[in-house]
Structure 1
Amino acid sequence: MAATIAVTRERREGETRCAVTPETVKKLTALGATVRVEAGTGVGSSIPDDDYAAAGASVLADTKAVLSGADVLLKVRGPTAQETSALKTSAVVVALLDAWRDKETVKALAGAGVTAFAMEFVPRITRAQVMDVLSSQANLAGYRAVIEAAAAYSKGFPMMMTAAGTVAAAKVFVMGAGVAGLQAIATARRLGAVVTATDVRPASKEQVESLGAKFIAVEDEEFRAAETAGGYAKAMSAEYQAKQAELTAAHIVKQDVVITTALIPGRPAPRLVTAAHVASMKPGSVLVDLAIENGGNVEGAKLNEVVTTTNGVTIVGHGNLPGRIAADASALYARNLFAFLGLILKEGAVTLDLEDEILKAAVVTHGGEIVHEGVRG
């Protein structure tokens, strides 16, 4: 029996993205699935309801009608309690659940008996690259961080030779050279800034330099072993952090813009920029904290606020930076979800193989229980 796939409006504050686009609706219906979309789902991503209907979706104004009997619910953020309660027990939920922090949503999903997959847990393996939501969204976040920095900075980024004199290029320091950081480096370079970057993973040095930026780090033995098998940064020792902090402090004072991107899965974001660092920066300097939703890398940063310090430094703490480029973010996210659904939909019907290495890594609730070891505790 063909699956019914439901997509509802995002109800979490500030979320402008959506889980399907007309492109992926067409692909899903081509597989034989029935797609129901709640009216207004694509508003934040500039997708009218008529475009969904033209692609083959049923567009319904009533949320319960969208969810009634649905086999799969696709979301960007986790469903609300009301949405979860409207699902049948055999339903499958696929979303960015923020499962390590949003315990209430996870408990509600388990209590409803549904099988829920957290897209943030999709493993970083070759097979799953096309499903890697964290990378697709971080890429856009890194780009947007530079745009936000340029908007907040009272000078230009490139060096400009004019009849009235020369305008110096901005100095941009990117802290964390993962997907978001590398895109930030590339974007800042395109805008003409002089870019430096740092990261605790040794593999990042070559990547940073390939983009034309200078790499800044304490390159000792701990640094050379500071990457997990999954490609994430390890937490560093207090001794290394002290040495890196000394180097960072001397570097930050010379910078016009600092962009921080450091995240450690399942843990609060590490503090990279202290109040003392901020106090050492020139008036007019800008910091953009991409990790603000996980506690922030910058002391003094506030979620969803732009703060100006007493010494004239601007700290940008916008949450959900991909949502500030929502049309592209939704397009990439929807393609990630479509690829993931390829593991769940067989001949248009839902077929779960929880021994599949990708599904096994991403499943959070099943059979009325929280089954993900990292979330259960």
Structure 2
Amino acid sequence: MKFDLLATDAQSSARAGTIETDHGKIETPIFMPVGTVASVKGVHQKELKEEINPDIILGNTYHLYLRPGTDILQKAGGLHSFMNWDRPILTDSGGYQVYSLSHRRKIKEEGVKFKSHIDGSYHTFTPENVMEIQRIIGADIIMAFDECTPYPCDYNYAKNSMNRTHRWLDRCIAHLEKTPLTYGHQQTLFPIVQGSTYKDLRKQSAEYIAASGAEGNAIGGLSVGEPAEEMYAMTEVVTNILPKEKPRYLMGVGTPINILENIALGVDMFDCVMPTRNARNGMLFTAHGTINIKNKKWQEDFSPIDDMAITYVDSYYTKAYLRHLFTVNEMLGKQIATIHNLGFYLWLVREARKHILAGDFASWKNMMVNQMNKRL
């Protein structure tokens, strides 16, 4: 993997760059649609590529390990071939699922024993077998196995968890070096900064991760319930330490405003289920604010969904029609809203990139934050 830093905003830490992988180029800042189980929920790959047009998408190691399983993925030739996606893919390591399955798992130094949410069967993730699983999945960027701490958590828990994540990282690196590539294309490991919302722990973790010499780095353990201001404060601590010449990925974040504020702090890569999950609940993100399309006020609004027409659905359908689809629980409504939201997220990060390159990102960002903070 190769990262080229092209520009940094004069009034913030926002950056524009490019990441080169064997499956293509990624222009940063970038948002990665979440394709948890080899599918971005509700969107055909053809629409995903031609309408939403992301440079990279995300898959989930935990879910793909359980279904369809590594045997099927290996026989298919890896995740790219299985889902017919020829652009870059990033897989998370399962660390977040370890966090979210708190009542179904037991964490030890060796790894994590957990019960499947599907059938209750027992499984174990270790740094070593998570590297092997991600080799078989075949993503271009793979994540080190970590423990995502809950919010809030006490200082000693956060410190012990962080140190365990660091030890697991060392094991990931050692095992990956002796685990051959499965499909020939290169895979890049990103370690993950932890430390909850404790500044000294975040600083210590960022220094440890930076010293690992990885080609890119991730920031985990945020967007788990903490106030946005704490998220921004921890992100700033970390981005001030992580190497400037390597891409930075903030995991699981967030709202359009969260993304712009974290771009301003020097983050390059984002993922979040919010645009798809909120779409299925009738919330549309736009440059002028958020729309709850279920509200009766849209019942006789025959104007286009979004006059910016970022994707075809924005001008092809009206607000009244989309509201009707939600009212009668027609699945097409959720699909339309999903395409709209993902298209908007990709438009937003690409506009951010344009303004970073043009040198006026900070003023544009402030204007956009004010606009998007409205409920229409």
Larger Rg: 1
Which structure shows the higher helix fraction?
Answer: 2
Task: Report the TM-score, using the length of structure 2 for normalisation.
Answer: 0.28
